[in-house]
A and B are shown apart, each in its own frame.
Chain A
Amino acid sequence: MNGGGINATVGGRSLWQNAGERLRRNKAAMFSLWLLLVFVVLVVAGPWLAQHDYTQTNLSLGSTAPSLAGGHWFGTDALGRDVLARTLAGGRISLLVGLVATLVSLLIGVFWGAVAGYCGGRVDALMMRFVDLLYAMPFMFFVILLMVVFGRNILLIFVAIGAINWLDMARIVRGQTISLRHREFIQAATLMGAGTLTIIVRHVIPNLLGVVVVYVTLTIPQVMLVESFLSYLGLGVQEPFTSWGALVNQGALEMETAPWLLGFPALFLAGTLFCFNFIGDGLRDALDVKSDEDGW
């Protein structure tokens, strides 16, 4: 039962296909999608693309300005490390943090919110009070505590950010689920003898995906910003690893003497954040069924 675009009259077009088409007509979102793809390819292929290893120091070449001829396109830092290689390596960590933390929050949040919203009553109250409890914990304090106890570890950053972000996801999903729960097709499914789990998996979650997808594209940049912030405070990734946040932090210290140290990583970070935000906005418009029928 696939509804291809060509035999649309026979195959039927799902809401996803319609949304995909609307997204394709959104120039800002499509441009962002392509740009993001370029970033991802660059960052993933970084070790092969860059002529230098991002950890390799060369004190004789400390703080050289960007030049094509010198082989250091983005220049070098005070220790003579290639900024291009470091930017690409940092991007890997930044994007990874964004993706993994968002994935964690997605899995926990959607399940938690959908169960709480669909079951309602005491189950809902209990589950959501737990969420409130976690909300009340001061995030920074939580992270610093983890750092102190377990030492600085990149895994901890994933855990810390993911553990906080699923709370928002759970709240959003729960709200959506409650409004879905009283829709007739859910009632009809109940009457057909479908169990709670079946209904959540088959009827509730597919209808939540629109909201979730939009939220995810807006969460990834948010998570990346949090990581940058942590790194900026010196609580993030540790040498020899680096991230865009950490690079921006170091670059800011030498802004006046070597602006390229700040400029290039900041450009990549800002570009990625912009892309995700435009894609998120585009998706939100594309998934909004009403947008096609303005006025009636």
Chain B
Amino acid sequence: MSAVVLKVADLRVSYRRSGGSFLALEGVGFELIRGQTLAVVGESGSGKSTLAYACAGLLTPEQGSVELLGRPLARQRAKDLRWQAQHLQMVFQDPVSSLNPRQTIAKSLAEPLLSVAGNARPAAAEISKRLAELIAQVGLRQDIANRYPHELSGGQCQRVAIARALANRPEVLICDEPVSALDISVQAQVINLLLELQQKLALSILFIAHDLGVVRRIADQLIVMHQGKIVERGPARQILSEPQHPYTQNLLASEAKLDFG
């Protein structure tokens, strides 16, 4: 199998607004390599979240294509949806609203296992075994299973959301600003968890972020976006040390750094 797991070409998305349409993405293309992390950095209005949603098939681009493991995304038939569900999952920005407030954590986690299985419903014992594995995998205590989202902290909810995304062992994980709603001490925990899981499960990650700080540790490749277009791309280390585009330079210079006075 080819090393490219997610291939995006010439993507164009626009939103209708009062007084004309607003171009959210134009001519965006990239390739995500197996086992690597591609980070997309941009400020509000750069189109980075639109890009994440388009890659997940949650919105249909006007133009361009998204290929997952060599197959174009198609979300018409239930069979295609199930196939995609097994290979690509997403973690969202707001950890609390990522989980259905009326369901226990166990129910939320069991859902992907059941929906992919279709009619061949797995045995209850099998499901509860996998649930225990998933909860342990993201470093949570088992007694969390019977709790409700509103009883957990933001960091714990985000761990549950990660566990749910990984339930069917997908190859590709899209993370849409997964730590920006969390406290700094918890941000580091979640990033470490993602790094650890990536190594263990050979995940390929598309990581969306609004600042460079978080990306530094996790990204192999980096794309900088500004107003719906890619302004700079390349190996993360290189861009962070020698940014070429003025916008990237500005972004790097604006970053809040510890100032020891």
Contacts and interface: CB of A to CB of B under 8 A. Distances in A.
Asked whether the complex places CB atoms of A and B closer than 8 A, the reply is: yes
Interface of A: 1, 3, 10-16, 183-185, 187-195, 198, 202-203, 206-207, 289
A3 B78 contact: no
Nearest to B167: A192
A194 B115 contact: yes
Given A1-B146, A15-B148, A207-B100, A192 B161 contact: no
Most B C-beta atoms less than 10 A away, residue of A1, A16, A185, A206: A185
Contacts of A16: 102
A183 B112 CA distance: 18
Contact of B94 (A184, A193, A202, A206): A184
B92 A195 contact: no
30 contacts: A1-B104, A1-B107, A3-B146, A10-B146, A13-B151, A14-B148, A15-B148, A15-B150, A184-B93, A184-B94, A184-B97, A184-B98, A187-B90, A187-B92, A188-B90, A188-B98, A188-B165, A189-B111, A189-B115, A191-B57, A192-B85, A192-B111, A192-B164, A193-B78, A193-B82, A193-B84, A198-B115, A203-B100, A207-B101, A289-B150
B115 A193 contact: yes
Contacts of A3: 104, 146, 148
Most A C-beta atoms less than 10 A away, residue of B86, B98, B100, B101: B100
Interface in B95-146: 97-108, 111-112, 115-116, 143, 146
A191 B105 CA distance: 18
Contacts of B90: 187-188, 191
B29 to A, nearest CB: 22
B101 A193 contact: no
A288 to B, nearest CB: 13
Contacts of B237: none
Pairs of residues from A and B, 7 with the lowest C-beta to C-beta distance, nearest first: A193-B85, A12-B147, A184-B92, A206-B102, A184-B98, A193-B82, A192-B112
A207 B115 contact: no
B81 A193 contact: yes
Most B C-beta atoms less than 10 A away, residue of A190, A192, A207: A192
B204 interface: no
A3 B150 CA distance: 14
Contacts of A191: 56-58, 84-85, 88-90
A195 B58 contact: no
A67 B103 CA distance: 57
B58 A187 contact: yes
Given A13-B151, A191-B85, A193-B85, A185 B99 contact: yes
Contact of B148 (A12, A190, A194, A207): A12
A14 B102 contact: yes
B101 A10 contact: no
Contacts of B104: 1, 3, 12, 14
A185 B146 contact: no
A152 B108 CA distance: 52
A12 B92 contact: no
A185 B57 CA distance: 15
A15 B151 CA distance: 10
Most B C-beta atoms less than 10 A away, residue of A12, A183, A189: A12
B116 A193 contact: yes
Contact of A190 (B58, B102, B151, B161): B58
B101 to A, nearest CB: 6
Contacts of A10: 143, 146
Contacts of B151: 12-13
Given A3-B148, A14-B148, A185-B98, 17 more contacts: A1-B106, A1-B146, A3-B146, A11-B146, A12-B148, A13-B148, A15-B101, A15-B148, A15-B150, A184-B98, A190-B58, A191-B57, A191-B85, A192-B112, A193-B115, A195-B81, A207-B101
A14 B93 CA distance: 24
Nearest to A205: B102
Contacts of B85: 191-193
A15 B102 contact: yes
Given A184-B92, A206-B102, A207-B102, A192 B147 contact: no
A188 B78 contact: no
A198 B81 CA distance: 14
Contacts of A193: 78, 81-82, 84-86, 112, 115-116
A184 B82 CA distance: 19
Most B C-beta atoms less than 10 A away, residue of A16, A193, A289: A193
A202 B110 CA distance: 13
B148 A183 contact: no
Contacts of A289: 150
A190 B143 CA distance: 27
A212 B224 CA distance: 45
